[in-house]
Amino acid sequence: MRSPDLDLDLLRCFVAVAERGGFTAAGQALGLTQSAISLKVKRLEALLQRRVFERTSRSTGLTRDGETLLAYARRLLALNDEAVRRLVAPPVAGRFRLGVADHFVPRNLAPLLARFARTWPEVRLEVEVGRSHELRTAQERGALDLVLGKRRDGETAGRPIWTESVVWVAAPDWAPAAGWPQEGGPLGGPIPLAMLPPGCMFRDRALAALARAGLAFEVVYTSASLLGVAAAAQAGFALTVLGRSGLPPGLVEVPGLPPLGTVEMCLFGDAGGQSPLAEPLVRFLRESLADPVLATAA
């Protein structure tokens, strides 16, 4: 018996319902009525002979089969959209200089660049990794075309891409003493910290949070490289602060410390959309970073 082919239109509808938490919201996003969305989901379930949603009067949730399908559906839609951009969209070619904040590098950057290179092979993308404020300074003086970096508290510049939770992290075996953090660090003294140099938003926010909580701390390790800071924490030498989505292996979140809130990751540069290369890259980053599954599918 021949296996059925999945309909991309039905999959796109299914993903919209799953991501927006309901049929009405999915219909608004896709420009369809709630009944049309419901009909498409029923067709998909009939095709698969499995239920993909559990529906109640108050909520719509994925079944176990629906959770499995969601990962495949996102990948199939990403490949379809990539093929369409490659074959149908107007040709894009030239040199583009992109700056990327270093805390985004460990897990996500390489897969994204690989996908971008496959989608627009005629674009020569030059990437510089560094600290957000230094990259933005380089962009302002014309050394970079676009920067993916952090927006500082209270700032309105840049185009938001996603919101990142900021968390305290340390090696899994980093064991504070009983009563910590009220009594200080692991031995009752100042909390040891590994940080980027002054001027880093994460550093400023972490030190301010500890000071407000009345907790003693000491910056015992400073590195201009985020990988260096992470290495100090992985070795159990100190705690540090990172974005939750980019935690490298060997680090876990540390509970009990003052919350650090969130930070907006934004694209800076070419605000007027003058570069013919900027908009395809912006669109690509928005679509990829909106979903961690797509961001890591290379």
Same-domain check for residues 148 and 287: yes
Same-domain check for residues 149 and 273: yes
Q: What is the mean pLDDT of the chain?
A: 81
- pLDDT at 1 (0 to 100): 60
Q: Which residue range forms the structural domain that includes residue 283?
A: 94-161+264-295
Q: Which residue has the higher pLDDT, 226 or 47?
A: 47
Q: Tell me the pLDDT tens digit for each residue of 79-132.
A: 887 787 667 666 666 788 888 887 765 456 677 777 777 777 778 888 888 888
Query: Considering the domain boundaries, does residue 113 fall inside one?
Result: yes
Q: Tell me the pLDDT tens digit for each residue of 15-30.
A: 989 888 888 888 887 8
Same-domain check for residues 122 and 155: yes
Residue 214 CB-density burial (10 A; 0-12 exposed, 13-18 middle, 19+ buried): exposed
Q: Tell me the pLDDT tens digit for each residue of 58-92.
A: 778 899 999 999 989 988 988 887 787 667 666 66
Same-domain check for residues 153 and 207: no
Query: Considering the domain boundaries, does residue 48 fall inside one?
Result: yes
CATH number reported for the structural domain that contains residue 241 in this entry: 3.40.190.10
Same-domain check for residues 141 and 109: yes
Q: Which of 43, 64, 87 is the last residue of a domain?
A: 87
pTM: 0.61
Same-domain check for residues 177 and 216: yes
Q: Which residue has the higher pLDDT, 169 or 93?
A: 169
Same-domain check for residues 126 and 256: no
pLDDT at 170 over 70: yes
- pLDDT at 264 (0 to 100): 83
d(CA 10, CA 164): 31
CATH number reported for the structural domain that contains residue 29 in this entry: 1.10.10.10
Query: Considering the domain boundaries, does residue 3 fall inside one?
Result: no
pLDDT at 45 over 60: yes
- β-partners of residue 243 are 166
d(CA 142, CA 12): 40
Mean pLDDT of 43-47: 93
Q: Tell me the pLDDT tens digit for each residue of 250-274.
A: 999 998 899 999 888 888 886 555 5
Which runs of E-coded beta strand occur in the chain? 53-55, 60-62, 94-101, 123-130, 146-151, 159-170, 191-195, 217-222, 240-243, 252-253, 262-268
Same-domain check for residues 153 and 272: yes
- β-partners of residue 95 are 124
* Token pair of 248 as six digits: 């490298």
Query: Considering the domain boundaries, does residue 1 fall inside one?
Result: no
* Total number of domains in the chain: 3
- pLDDT at 179 (0 to 100): 44
Residue 4 pLDDT grade (very low, low, confident, very high; cuts 50, 70, 90): confident
Count the helix, strand and coil residues of the chain and give each as a percent rounded to the nearest 5.
45, 20, 35
Query: Considering the domain boundaries, does residue 225 fall inside one?
Result: yes
Q: Which of 71, 87, 103 is the last residue of a domain?
A: 87
Query: Considering the domain boundaries, does residue 195 fall inside one?
Result: yes
Same-domain check for residues 133 and 186: no
Q: Which of 87, 121, 138 is the last residue of a domain?
A: 87
* Token pair of 116 as six digits: 């971008």
